[in-house]
Amino acid sequence: MRDALVAAAFRLFPERGYEQTTVDDIVALAGVGRRSFFRYFPSKEDVVFPDHERCLADMTAFLYAGGDDVEPVRRVCDAARLVLLMYAENPTFSVQRYHLTKQVPGLRAYELSVVWRYERALAGYLRARFAGLRDGILRADVIAAAVVAAHNNALRAWLRSDGEGDAETTVDHALGHVREAFGTAPAPGVSGGPEDVVVIVSRRGAPLWRVVQELESALGRG
Amino acid sequence: MRDALVAAAFRLFPERGYEQTTVDDIVALAGVGRRSFFRYFPSKEDVVFPDHERCLADMTAFLYAGGDDVEPVRRVCDAARLVLLMYAENPTFSVQRYHLTKQVPGLRAYELSVVWRYERALAGYLRARFAGLRDGILRADVIAAAVVAAHNNALRAWLRSDGEGDAETTVDHALGHVREAFGTAPAPGVSGGPEDVVVIVSRRGAPLWRVVQELESALGRG
DNA sequence: GGGCGCGACGGTACTGAGTTCCGTGTCAGG
DNA sequence: CCTGACACGGAACTCAGTACCGTCGCGCCC
């Protein structure tokens, strides 16, 4: 029933556009009553994101499945990675939806509220992991936003390639930037970020010779 | 006329709720025709964010008013700071709207699309400033998202205080975290982050003497 | 001064999303 | 055969948003 409605909707949307397709058109093509549409989808927009609830639940489950021994930032990056892989499971559907949301303002707004829930899930996890830390909530919110932005960047690049590109490499590269910025270097050779970049953090009070020593060591010239 | 409609709307919203207030109620109280409402506000939600367009335009103008000599990340942080100060100009109105958006899902979704436009404005500016840089677009998007998240964090904290707290200090502190994470130390004594930390990023291919030069300069020992 | 265009406002009627209420079939178990 | 739970369908309704048109007030030009 759900699947029949989604199938009918995505047969009509490409040919006459989202806004020009009424719910009556969809239910007529699916051969079901109008009332049944709103039983399965609270609004017309929801039919465009039919598996969003399940995907969000999967990501949340993944977050809390790992123990507290795994590094938090790495965990949320892996969660974002997981979401992108879910998108990549149905390339044609994802690309079709991308073209819809790109040109229908109403759907773009709805997509924002969808993405927002993912971001809040990530932030909630990080807030719990950062509990007690100085500015833990702020740090959690900022990192969650950065992770989502990196994920979206990679996702859109992949969608623009019509699902032909390498989604994994792209998202790992993007998330590598975030982990770099927030103090968790990607594992060597994992393909996150360019491998010829090294970050040194120093306190101003430290003696210069110690900083140079660390620097040479980090650059492999010691 | 606009002001009359906004005033009427915000007299009705608190007493009977946003969704229970129809557009007809608003225009009846304002003493104008229903048609005129939609002349000034494309949708019912827009009356809740009456000065959003102006605020966005002001922020964009501020971004491009500074020359290319000012550091990009600092510039977008200052732009976010400017937005928060605009909110702080009308504390009672901002707090009232906060309570509305907090409990009406439809308004929260609309607010997301509003915030999204600010984020895209910041990202657009950063993309231009980072043009030609390796992963410039990705970096721009991630930093814009982080700045917006930090701004929102500070804004919500201030709104929860019913506009009584110190908005400037809060937002400076939050944005300091972002500037720390992305390699731009906050101005000395501004209260963002620990002031004795400096970050140097180097590519492995760079000559060591150049790196040490940058390092000495950053540490203020050159 | 008298048409005259123009822009702002108001009213009517319409479309379509979303809701409410209710009738109908269907299948289980007693 | 009766009955209660449940899924579906349909009619009628509310309200946001749009299209169309009529009206008023204003300056402007002949």
A113 contacts in chain B (CB < 8 Å): 108-109, 112
Q: Give B61→chain A minimum CA distance, Å.
A: 24
B196 contacts in chain A (CB < 8 Å): 203-205
Question: Which of B115, B198, B205, B185 minimizes the C-alpha distance to B152?
Answer: B115
B171 contacts in chain A (CB < 8 Å): none
Q: What is the pLDDT of residue B190?
A: 39
Q: With an 8 Å Cβ cutoff, is A199 touching chain B?
A: yes
Show which of residues 12-31 on chain B sit within 8 Å of chain A, judged by CB atoms. none
Structure tokens, A168: 């994994």
Q: What is the distance between the alpha carbons of residues A206 and B220, in angstroms, rounded to a whole number?
A: 12
Beta bridge partners, B203, equal A197
- Closest residue to D8 by CA to C1' distance? A36
Find which nucleotide's C1' atom is closest to B38's CA.
D17
Question: Which of B111, B91, B109 minimizes the C-alpha distance to B165?
Answer: B91
Helices (H), chain A: 2-16, 23-30, 34-40, 52-65, 72-89, 91-103, 105-129, 136-160, 167-181, 208-219
Give the residue with greater pLDDT, B198 vs B121.
Answer: B121
Residue A90 has φ and ψ, to the nearest 5°, of -120, 75
Best of A119, A169, A202, A209 to mutate (most B CBs within 10 Å, chain B): A202
Question: Which of A176, A143, A147, A171 minimizes the C-alpha distance to A158?
Answer: A171
Q: Give B31→chain A minimum CA distance, Å.
A: 31
From A13-17, A83-87, A191-195, B47-51, the region with the lowest mean pLDDT: A191-195
Q: How far is the CA of B43 from the C1' of C10 (A)?
A: 19
Q: What is the pLDDT of residue A219?
A: 61
Query: SS3 for A64?
Result: helix
Show which of residues 173-192 on chain B sit within 8 Å of chain A, judged by CB atoms. 173-174, 177-178, 181-182
Structure tokens, A152: 């979206």
pLDDT of residue B66 exceeding 90: no
Show which of residues 32-71 on chain A sit within 8 Å of chain B, judged by CB atoms. none
Q: What is the distance between the alpha carbons of residues B136 and B129, in angstroms, rounded to a whole number?
A: 8
CA distances from A142 to A13, A121, A123, A145 (A): 36, 13, 8, 5
Q: Sorting pLDDT into bands at 50, 70 and 90, what band is A23? A: very high
Structure tokens, B120: 């895209």
- State which residues between 11 and 30 of chain B bring their CB within 7 Å of strand D: 21-24
Q: What is the pLDDT of residue A202?
A: 62
Q: What is the distance between the alpha carbons of residues A173 and B57, in angstroms, rounded to a whole number?
A: 34
Category of B22 on φ-ψ map: left (φ > 0), alpha (ψ -120 to 50) or beta = beta
Q: With an 8 Å Cβ cutoff, is A144 touching chain B?
A: yes
Q: A121 and A60 in contact (C-beta within 8 Å)? A: yes
Query: What is the number of other CB atoms lying within 10 angstroms of the CB of residue A122?
Result: 29
Q: What is the pLDDT of residue B180?
A: 87
* Distance, CA of B155 to chain centre: 9
Contact A146 B148 (CB under 8 A): no
Q: With an 8 Å Cβ cutoff, is B220 touching chain A?
A: yes
Please give the helix or strand (H or E) that residue A6 lies within, else none.
helix A2-16
Cβ-based neighbours of A185, under 8 Å, separated by 6 or more:
A179, A199
Contact A200 B205 (CB under 8 A): no
The mean of the pLDDT values for chain A is: 88
Q: Give A24→chain B minimum CA distance, Å.
A: 24
Pick from B113, B153, B205: CB nearest A141: B153
Structure tokens, B18: 């946003």
Q: How far is the CA of B50 from the C1' of D27 (A)?
A: 31
A46 contacts in chain B (CB < 8 Å): none
Q: N- to C-terminal Cα distance for chain A?
A: 66
pLDDT of residue A189 exceeding 90: no
Please give the helix or strand (H or E) that residue B26 lies within, else none.
helix B23-30
Q: Sorting pLDDT into bands at 50, 70 and 90, what band is B208? A: low
Helices (H), B104-202: 105-129, 136-160, 167-181
Residue A197 has φ and ψ, to the nearest 5°, of -115, 135
Instruction: Give per-residue pLDDT as tens, B3-53.
Output: 999 999 999 999 999 999 999 999 999 999 999 999 999 999 999 999 999
Token look-up 């509305």 returns: B100
Give the residue with greater pLDDT, B201 vs A1.
Answer: A1
Question: Which of B38, B40, B28, B45 minimizes the C-alpha distance to B3?
Answer: B40
Q: What is the distance between the alpha carbons of residues A98 and B25, in angstroms, rounded to a whole number?
A: 38
Question: For helices A167-181 and A136-160, what crossing angle results, to 10°?
Answer: 150
Structure tokens, B116: 């999204």
pLDDT of residue B1 exceeding 70: yes
Query: SS3 for A202?
Result: strand
Q: How far is the CA of A105 from the C1' of D1 (A)?
A: 57
Q: A115 and A152 in contact (C-beta within 8 Å)? A: yes
Q: What is the distance between the alpha carbons of residues A75 and A96, in angstroms, rounded to a whole number?
A: 30
Question: For helices B91-103 and B72-89, what crossing angle results, to 10°?
Answer: 100
Contact A138 B200 (CB under 8 A): no
Q: What is the distance between the alpha carbons of residues A188 and A143, in angstroms, rounded to a whole number?
A: 22
State the average pLDDT over residues A44-66. Answer: 95
B210 contacts in chain A (CB < 8 Å): none
Q: What is the pLDDT of residue A101?
A: 96
Instruction: Give per-residue pLDDT as tens, B73-105.
Output: 999 999 999 999 999 999 999 999 999 999 999
Q: What is the pLDDT of residue B63?
A: 96
Question: How does DSSP assign B100-116, residue by residue?
Answer: HHHH-HHHHHHHHHHHH
The mean of the pLDDT values for chain B is: 88
Widest CA span in chain A: 77
Question: Which of A5, A135, A118, A136 minimizes the C-alpha distance to A63?
Answer: A118
State the average pLDDT over residues A184-203. Answer: 52
Give the residue with greater pLDDT, B183 vs B168.
Answer: B168
Q: What is the pLDDT of residue B195?
A: 45
Give the residue with greater pLDDT, B148 vs B163.
Answer: B148
pLDDT of residue A66 exceeding 60: yes
pLDDT of residue B199 exceeding 90: no
Q: Does the reported pTM lie above 0.85?
A: no
Q: What is the distance between the alpha carbons of residues A218 and A196, in angstroms, rounded to a whole number?
A: 11
Residue A35 has φ and ψ, to the nearest 5°, of -60, -35
Q: What is the distance between the alpha carbons of residues A24 and A16, in angstroms, rounded to a whole number?
A: 14
